[in-house]
Structure 1
């Protein structure tokens, strides 16, 4: 049971964390703090938080855990603002989609108190934003990746892991560097592609006609282009090197496909499509076998 947690940025990610802990009976009090008064008032109205703090000094008094659920570029400024009021036993974690930059910012700001910061990243979300998008069940059966630092005490890491488990998440561990390489390929590149495709269609002179006939395939492929532009701008720049590597590899793949198409090489095109279909099917089967959601009406462990 966490006595008090502080959520910095009570939107989809932070709000779902709070609701998940409340649903599990794992927290006594949730305090929210953020830069948008209307969003914070809505989080209070929805019962996501029990209190909205006017300052970090007010918010951090007696806090067991602090979750930073804000765009990754804000990590340094937020940590600098809360550091003067950070209790010696309070653990800070984050939910950022990049880790190397977050760790670098935390080291620069926290200095010798870096042991109080346990980096994390829940692998769940949607294209919706804000407190109204928060769900108590968002993390059930989903992965939460922690990237612990050498300075972190075991009990600090377990405090963060235990909070995510209470929300129903499955804990995985990676180094910050491995995390960023992995997610450049399977998360950051897909977002870049989805934004690029929608932007390209929208810029065409007959965009209205094209969107009129765009159906489920287009909707599914571009769903993540509805995500926060500010957040994904920060993620793209923060993971620039790894994302450029993946983008270059994808451009090479597109060049190969273009050559197959230009040569009317149906067999080569079909081979690529078949390999992709097989790989996707195996991935779906692995997810269903390895990350099953909890049975209905059963609390996560």
Structure 2
């Protein structure tokens, strides 16, 4: 389907990449953007991600056939409230938030009967840098896109949105908001938390300069995602804190098991654990779990 007018609220890495991808796939006409940073919005205009800068979210969505909200999740309810009276009756609204239960609750509270127009989504794509300067029209190619449709959504709208994401290269899957938040607490939110925690702990030491001076590939690989957007990850961790706390407890138990193996110098058990972890990762990389 071709969308004559698209609104992107939050034209950063994801929002900017989405707009560029739609344009590259010739799936849209005019793209209006809205965001908090005037400098970022100007860069989005210069890069061709958007065709006009709206004064705010409400102005951006006027006459839009498709609305993507790609902001930190804590901002989304306020955005829903601001655009509710401006949305076209047949427009599709979606998001790119990394948590889903809180976004759905915000939509139900703010949109009222228009909840049927909102289809929750989460593109499983990202990069260590944020902002429209890092946007890439190929960002979603081969990556998963999770749709978490609501019972109120029209089947036709769900299929239109799924088809659109497929057209820009994404592999579309469907999950409930509850299942989504449980899964991504384990495989996305916890890894980010650990990366931030390790870098922060090292940086607080008196010999931090020496430690960072000798840090190399292993430290760089493990901590790459600690370069992600702090505000976005603050909101994700708070919004999904119940599931994330469960994962922290599981990981703490695993670390405690390893600590005991180190204390007893149990080399055989350590090697067995490492070998099992490597084998599991290799199965994942080979696509066995797809």
Shorter-chain TM-score: what band?
Answer: over 0.9
Q: Tell me which residue corresponds to 2:14.
A: 13
- Aligned equivalents of 2:37, 2:163: Cα separation in 1: 29
- Aligned equivalents of 1:190, 1:208: Cα separation in 2: 24
Q: How does 1:67-146 map onto structure 2 within 5 Å?
A: 67-146=68-147
- Aligned equivalents of 2:250, 2:204: Cα separation in 1: 26
Q: Tell me which residue corresponds to 1:282.
A: 283
SS at the partner of 1:149? coil
- Aligned equivalents of 1:175, 1:99: Cα separation in 2: 9
- Aligned equivalents of 2:56, 2:215: Cα separation in 1: 47
Asked whether the 8 Å contact 2:186–2:247 carries over to 1, the reply is yes
Asked whether the 8 Å contact 2:70–2:95 carries over to 1, the reply is yes
Q: Are residues 1:232 and 2:238 paired?
A: no
Shift of 1:57: 4.3
Q: Are residues 1:59 and 2:41 paired?
A: no
Q: Tell me which residue corresponds to 1:3.
A: 4
- Aligned equivalents of 2:149, 2:202: Cα separation in 1: 42
- Aligned equivalents of 1:62, 1:163: Cα separation in 2: 19
- Aligned equivalents of 1:169, 1:75: Cα separation in 2: 23
SS at the partner of 1:286? coil
- Aligned equivalents of 1:146, 1:213: Cα separation in 2: 43
Q: Which moved more, 1:46-55 or 1:268-277?
A: 46-55
Asked whether the 8 Å contact 1:67–1:92 carries over to 2, the reply is yes
Q: Would the alpha carbon gap of residues 171 and 266 (structure 1) be closer, same or farther in structure 2, given more than 3 Å must change? A: same
SS at the partner of 1:204? coil
SS at the partner of 2:286? helix
Q: Are residues 1:272 and 2:285 paired?
A: no
Shift of 1:58: 3.2
Asked whether the 8 Å contact 1:56–1:85 carries over to 2, the reply is no
Q: Are residues 1:181 and 2:182 paired?
A: yes
Q: Are residues 1:148 and 2:149 paired?
A: yes
Asked whether the 8 Å contact 2:196–2:223 carries over to 1, the reply is yes
Runs of 4+ in 1 over 4 A off after TM superposition: none
TM-score (normalizing by structure 2): 0.98
- Aligned equivalents of 2:207, 2:59: Cα separation in 1: 54
- Aligned equivalents of 2:218, 2:235: Cα separation in 1: 28
Q: Tell me which residue corresponds to 1:22.
A: 23
Q: Are residues 1:49 and 2:50 paired?
A: yes
Shift of 1:159: 2.3
Q: Are residues 1:36 and 2:40 paired?
A: no
Asked whether the 8 Å contact 2:100–2:120 carries over to 1, the reply is yes
- Aligned equivalents of 1:180, 1:114: Cα separation in 2: 20
Q: Deviations over 1:233-274 (max 9, x none)?
A: 100010011000010000000000000001000011111100
Residues paired across the two proteins, number: 289
Q: CA RMSD in A?
A: 1.1
SS at the partner of 2:122? strand
Q: Which moved more, 1:238-247 or 1:46-55?
A: 46-55
Shift of 1:163: 2.0
Shift of 1:61: 2.5
Shift of 1:41: 0.9
